[in-house]
């Protein structure tokens, strides 16, 4: 240790903490045990690296060229599970929030419905509203900042009228809100009918359920929309969803862009299925959203499933990518069934 003296010269001194400094000398690393690099277990290999694709490459080439790491592997794994479930005639179902519809992703889900891959869909209230408006008017998602100060936010007449009718019809004879809205869309002869997920499910005859939280959607501001009818119709849909979830053993449940409502609805339906003794072994759950969320993690990925997969990214990129991956997965030859599996199915 040194200290500057008054004449500018340095002299060695023993500072008060010198003893402690001496007691903690740099560790002597001589004698450290090493091993050969090739013998070490590793998580990343040369064959895992991404492969740039050339112009004119096929879709399968591009997907195959993605790095075999992390999120790219999660997309592959999700596509493989969807393909397996489809081949085994297991249920593939999805829940979604409004942002999935707003970002233009309904056509990918509609295609899955038409191909028989997707067997049930569940929407929150905002997703159903955006779906309806796109089918009827070819546009949705108003500028809230501009509309709110003038008291015009959420005041579209046709949207409220449709939900008033669907709520009333859906509350009767255990039809449910999803079925009733699909029927209403079918009767309207919508100019953009091909864009409606609700209508596609109705035409395909698969369960489509709508789960509302009263006070959260624009139609709840309109006096002719009955809260009692909405509540009853949505409760019917919850019970219908319980029937879907009860059959999800070895199937796939996807939660797309819903951070609160649909994860909460799903975990209650799982509880009902478990209470009645239904076998949910082998259930694979997938959560796809722009960021990780608490409820979708614990209520979708962790608590109910045998395997949970989280895909983080923008819906308008991740859903087309997943749709493409599933298409490539289903284009592959079906894997040979083992003798044991054949006997088990017989």
User: What is the CATH classification number for the domain harbouring 238?
Assistant: 3.40.50.10690
The C-alpha angle 27, 30, 36, rounded to 5 degrees, equals 120
Q: How far apart are CA 316 and CA 102, in angstroms?
A: 9
Asked, for residue 13, whether it belongs to a domain, the answer is: no
Residue 156 belongs to some domain of the structure: yes
How many of the other CB atoms lie within 10 Å of CB of 328? 17
77 within a domain of the structure (yes/no): yes
Cα separation, 96 vs 289, whole angstroms = 10
What is the spatial distance between Cα 146 and Cα 199, in angstroms, rounded to a whole number? 31
- Range of 302's domain? 71-333
Query: CB-based contacts of 126: which residues, under 8 Å, 6+ apart?
Result: 97, 98, 216, 217
In tens, the pLDDT along 72-109 reads 999 999 999 999 999 999 999 999 999 999 999 999 99
In a domain, 55, yes or no: no
pLDDT in tens, 215-264: 999 999 999 999 999 999 999 999 999 999 999 999 999 999 999 999 99
Number of domains in the chain: 1
Beta pairing, strands 2-4 & 10-12 = antiparallel
Q: Considering the domain boundaries, does residue 340 fall inside one?
A: no
Q: Decide if 314 is inside a domain.
A: yes
What integer pLDDT is reported at residue 78 of this predicted model? Answer: 98
Q: Are 123 and 198 in contact (CB under 8 A)?
A: yes
Q: Which two tokens stand for residue 180?
A: 């009733």
CA atoms of 53 and 44, how far apart (whole Å): 21
- Identify the helix (H) or strand (E) that includes residue 235: helix 227-246
133 alpha-carbon distance from chain centroid: 23
For residue 7, being part of any structural domain is answered with: no
Q: What is the mean pLDDT of each run of 10 residues along the chain (346 residues)?
A: 54 63 85 95 94 91 92 96 98 98 98 98 98 97 93 93 97 96 96 98 98 94 96 98 98 97 98 98 97 93 95 96 96 70 45
Distance of CA 98 to the CA centre of its chain: 12
Q: Would residue 285 count as lying in a domain?
A: yes
């Amino acid at each position: 240790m040194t200290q500057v003296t008054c004449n500018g010269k340095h002299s060695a001194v023993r500072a008060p903490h010198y003893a402690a400094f001496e007691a903690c000398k740099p560790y002597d690393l001589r004698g450290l045990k090493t091993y050969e690099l090739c013998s070490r277990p590793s998580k990343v290999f040369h064959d895992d690296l991404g492969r740039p694709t050339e112009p004119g490459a096929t879709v399968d080439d591009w997907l195959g060229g993605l790095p075999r790491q992390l999120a790219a592997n999660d997309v592959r794994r999700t596509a493989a599970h969807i393909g397996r479930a489809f081949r085994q005639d297991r249920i593939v179902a999805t829940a979604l929030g409004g942002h999935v519809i707003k970002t233009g992703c309904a056509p990918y889900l509609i295609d899955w419905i038409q191909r028989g891959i997707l067997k049930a869909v569940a929407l929150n209230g905002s997703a159903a509203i955006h779906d309806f408006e796109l089918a009827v008017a070819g546009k949705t998602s108003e500028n809230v900042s501009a509309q709110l100060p003038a008291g015009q936010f959420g005041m579209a007449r046709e949207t409220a009228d449709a939900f008033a009718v669907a709520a009333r019809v859906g509350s009767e004879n255990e039809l449910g809100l999803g079925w009733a809205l699909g029927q209403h869309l079918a009767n309207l002869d919508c100019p953009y009918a091909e864009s409606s997920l609700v209508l596609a499910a109705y035409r395909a005859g698969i369960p489509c359920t709508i789960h509302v939280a009263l006070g959260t959607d624009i139609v709840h501001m309109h006096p002719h929309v009955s809260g009692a009818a909405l509540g009853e119709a949505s409760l019917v849909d919850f019970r219908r969803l319980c029937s879907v979830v009860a059959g999800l053993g070895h199937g796939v449940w996807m939660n797309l862009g819903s951070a609160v409502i649909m994860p909460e609805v799903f975990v209650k339906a799982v509880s009902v299925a478990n209470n009645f003794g239904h076998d949910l072994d082998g259930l694979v759950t997938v959560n796809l959203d722009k960021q990780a969320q608490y409820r979708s993690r614990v209520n979708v990925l962790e608590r109910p499933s045998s395997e949970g997969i989280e895909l983080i990214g923008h819906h308008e990129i991740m859903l087309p990518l997943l749709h493409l991956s599933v298409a490539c997965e289903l284009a592959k030859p079906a894997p040979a069934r083992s003798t044991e599996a054949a006997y088990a199915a017989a």
